């Protein structure tokens, strides 16, 4: 993306603590110092802040208590030994790929779908997953980086992983001896509070933590019913060309959060990643196709344009090469079927270029932090007489290109910091933003009033 300025690099001066080049130390743990210390002493690191026991696992709803008691925490070399494998443990073999892993017994498809999307964007990938790590002189310690509420953090873990019946309890490596995904998952579980705290969520949460970028959500059936398919197709096409992470999700069946498999091959209440879009000529007609990936690493759509669909016999040999008949969880479907069978679409990018597809534009990022304080700045909603006491921020738009079609000049994104450490204990309050145009002659021509409902107004 030549000429494109990344939002995450504008949020902090490069080199300052919390920037991408100098992430803050999560739990004040210094990865370099800890590793050097254990290498010198010939010992292996044990993380006391996220200990290898069932307090870090939590109370998994899919696992009865008697089975939880059978969970062991083993290092990768011991896991392979238990499995009778003579292979040596490797961190990452021949580069990271969406085909490296499959979901385990933790209901974190939303997180794994985001990882699948992350593997397409190497600059973000190496920021989140430092690739200079290995099991040689590693001292049982690894680290990963996440963007958390305005700054990057470096998260240290030991390499004990939860094992049940000599198999990894959670995400598994398809190669058997590659461990970058299980270790990445453990680091994120530490940030969330436990593995159980990763049960259920939205892919946009993880995508945000992988980039610090802009996230947009689309309700697909509403978009389709409003005849906005072409706009959606443009957004998807722009997103796949703009270093965006794209994920989607199916609806619950009967109001229950259960991953039942429908007769279409799609999984209910499940997160997927969007890995590509394309157009093919089918007997002279143009067909728009979306490629989707199931983080299970198997179980695919069985309708039109699926791996075994006869529709592929009606396209050119060049287009036919886009379809691979293998049970790897990845499949094609039409945009219309995509909008019908999937409920939500999530697009997250380092910058908002995917909105209009302008890859040459440069965005300036401004981050404002504030709080609602009872009796001072918690003014409540616009119907309250105290509304004007809410935090106010002025933005001056110095240049607007009126000649550019669909030009987007300002994008406003709200984020709420939780009070609780554990993800499941975090409580979010409804918040909003009201935009007012200031009359001519006043220095800034926009004022933003951030407001919150009466729940904060005392």
Q: Which residues are catalytic?
A: 109, 270, 294
Give the tokens for residue 194: 């436990």
The two three-digit tokens of residue 114, written as one number: 């985001």
Cα gap 201→132, rounded to integer Å: 30
Rounded Cα–Cα distance for residues 346 and 50 (Å): 31
117-128 burial, b for 16+ CB within 10 Å, e for fewer?
Answer: bbbbbeebbebb
| 190 phi/psi in degrees, rounded to 5 | -60, -45
Beta bridge partners of 158: 141
Q: How far apart are the first and last CA of the chain?
A: 48
351 CB contacts (<8 Å, ≥6 apart)? 4, 5, 6, 7, 213, 214, 242, 363
Structure tokens at 282: 């089918």
The rounded distance, in Å, linking the Cα atoms of 341 and 220 is: 9
- Residue/partner pairs of 30-34 with CB below 8 Å, 24 or more apart: 30/156, 31/141, 31/143, 31/154, 31/156, 34/141, 34/156
Of the candidates 250, 42, 31, 60, the residue with the CA atom closest to the CA atom of residue 142: 31
């Amino acid at each position: 993306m030549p000429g494109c300025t990344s939002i995450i690099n504008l949020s902090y001066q490069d080199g300052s603590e919390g920037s991408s080049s100098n992430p803050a130390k999560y739990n004040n743990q210094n990865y370099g110092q800890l590793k050097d210390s254990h290498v010198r002493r010939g010992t292996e690191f044990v993380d006391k802040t996220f200990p290898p026991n069932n307090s870090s696992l939590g109370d998994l709803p899919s696992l009865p208590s008697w089975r939880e008691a059978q969970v062991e925490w083993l290092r990768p070399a011991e896991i392979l030994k238990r499995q009778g494998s003579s292979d040596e443990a490797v961190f990452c073999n021949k580069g990271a790929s969406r085909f490296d892993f499959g979901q385990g017994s933790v209901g974190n498809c939303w997180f794994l779908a985001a990882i699948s999307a992350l593997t397409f964007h190497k600059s973000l990938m190496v920021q989140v997953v430092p690739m200079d790590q290995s099991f040689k002189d590693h001292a049982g310690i690894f680290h990963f980086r996440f963007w958390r509420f305005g700054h990057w953090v470096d998260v240290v873990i030991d390499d004990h992983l939860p094992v049940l019946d000599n198999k990894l309890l959670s995400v598994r490596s398809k190669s058997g001896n590659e461990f970058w995904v299980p270790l990445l998952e453990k680091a994120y579980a530490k940030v969330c509070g436990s593995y159980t705290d990763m049960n259920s969520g939205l892919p946009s949460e993880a995508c945000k933590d992988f980039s610090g970028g802009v996230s947009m959500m689309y309700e697909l059936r509403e978009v389709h019913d409003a005849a906005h398919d072409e706009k959606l197709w443009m957004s998807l096409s722009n997103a796949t060309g703009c270093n965006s992470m794209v994920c989607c999700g199916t609806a619950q069946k009967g109001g229950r959060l259960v991953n039942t498999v429908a007769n279409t091959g799609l999984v209910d209440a499940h997160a997927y990643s969007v890995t590509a879009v394309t157009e093919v000529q089918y007997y002279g007609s143009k067909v728009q196709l979306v490629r989707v990936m199931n983080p299970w690493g198997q179980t695919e759509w069985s309708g039109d344009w699926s791996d075994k669909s006869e529709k592929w016999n009606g396209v050119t040999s060049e287009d036919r090469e886009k379809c691979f008949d293998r049970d790897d969880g990845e499949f094609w479907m039409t945009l219309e079927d995509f909008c019908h069978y999937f409920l939500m679409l999530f697009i997250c990018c380092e910058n908002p270029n995917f909105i209009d597809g302008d890859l040459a534009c440069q965005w300036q990022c401004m981050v404002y932090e504030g709080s609602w304080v009872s009796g001072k700045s918690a003014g409540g909603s616009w119907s309250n007489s105290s509304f004007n006491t809410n935090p106010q921020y002025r933005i001056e738009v110095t240049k607007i290109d009126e000649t550019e079609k669909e030009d987007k000049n300002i994008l406003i994104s709200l984020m709420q910091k939780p009070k609780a450490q554990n993800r499941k204990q975090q409580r979010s309050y409804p918040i909003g933003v009201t935009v007012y145009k200031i009359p001519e002659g006043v220095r800034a021509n926009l004022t933003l009033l951030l407001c919150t409902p009466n729940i904060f107004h005392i």
